Structure 1
Amino acid sequence: MPSDRQKTGEARREKILLALRHSIGPITGRSLAKEMNVSRQVIVSDINLLKAKNEPILATSQGYLYMPSNPVSRVSRLIVCRHTPEQTEQELQLIVKHGAIVKNVVIEHPVYGEMTASLMLHNQAEVKRFTDQLSSSESSLLSELTDGVHMHEIEAENAAILDHIEQELDHAGILHKG
């Protein structure tokens, strides 16, 4: 028979799932912790338990997202970019201004192999929050480990949008062809 503590944890995880399912954007661990009256570390543990039960929760730099299978047909493409850290916001804004999503960033590290970080940036406000968070935390970009070379998986409604984004990135000198 489950203890009261187990019941409380299960109830909290159900509340977390409901909040994520009904949210239109990411929810931070801090805000979930405040809402559930627990520590952020408890939320991290709960999220890990939910993921272990195959709940489609994605941890991004903006917070947690519930990512069920999407019946809407969209196309995605992996693009290779190279730029300075100062051009990061320009690159990301060029992508999202056309309605595309920057799903992640990927680098090929000479020692660790492929390293991927989820971004899930949908719009210009999210890009601005991401770049502000990056500069205020004094963190470095993954691409700084590879002389600016990195990849993004981007997603849009159709291939024409992705083609247009690639043209703009090329025109800005950000698309890597080399």
Structure 2
Amino acid sequence: MVDGDRRKAQILEALQQAEKPISATSFAKEFSVSRQIVVGDVALLRAAGENIIATARGYLLERESEKLISKLAVQHSPEQTEDELRTIVEHGGEVIDVVVEHPLYGELVGGLHLASQQDVSDFIEEADRLQVTLLSELTAGIHLHTIAYETLEDLTEIKAALSEKGILYEEKHHSA
């Protein structure tokens, strides 16, 4: 068994080299410890200033991006979630997170990091498997997404496609 400091260093090294998220379960198997030990190790690394993001598929190290970043306000039913996410990705966007306004806690942010149709499929399958409540269900479907994209044309296409589907909040709000 690897001691805590060495294990944390190896987790960080693995995340620095990873292209895809690495789950706490896979780290736990690798180091022959419980998943909870890994969660604690990652919490300590984050507290020490490491920019580790927890996603539904595992941990990622946040990297500087050359992409443009915007927030989109959207509103839709839980049944439209997959269509919304697929539309953003199809038009060149990466869905970085989801943000909702909570009456007690203020902003709640959930990391998504969905950059491909396969990422969206994995996310939807995991949500179905876990039978969880989506953050957007806390706010009658109104939420924000931080998205990354290459060009302003990508952003224009994403907004137009979401508007056409009745998902882009600003468009519905102003026309009402």
Q: Does TM-score exceed 0.5, indicating one fold?
A: yes
- Structure 1 residue 162 corresponds to structure 2 residue 162: no
Give the counterpart of 2:25 among 15, 26, 30. 30
Q: Report the equivalent of 1:173.
A: 166
Residue segments in structure 2 that go unaligned for 5+ positions in a row = none
Q: 2 CA distance for matches of 1:144 and 1:13? A: 36
Aligned amino acid, residue 168 of structure 1: A
Q: 2 CA distance for matches of 1:94 and 1:158? A: 16
RMSD (CA atoms) = 1.5
Aligned amino acid, residue 102 of structure 1: V
Percent identity between the two aligned chains: 42
- The CA deviation at 1:122 is 1.3
Q: How does 1:69-108 map to 2 (within 5 A)?
A: 70=64, 72-108=65-101
- Structure 1 residue 42 corresponds to structure 2 residue 37: yes
Q: Secondary structure at the match of 2:168?
A: coil
Aligned amino acid, residue 18 of structure 2: S
Q: Report the equivalent of 1:12.
A: 7
Q: 1 CA distance for matches of 2:107 and 2:51? A: 22
Q: Report the equivalent of 1:60.
A: 55
Give the counterpart of 1:121 among 105, 114, 121. 114
Q: 1 CA distance for matches of 2:32 and 2:115? A: 29
Q: Secondary structure at the match of 1:80?
A: strand
Q: Secondary structure at the match of 1:103?
A: strand
Contact 1:77–1:154, Cα closer than 8 Å, also in 2: yes
TM-score for the superposition, normalised by structure 1: 0.91
Aligned amino acid, residue 128 of structure 1: S
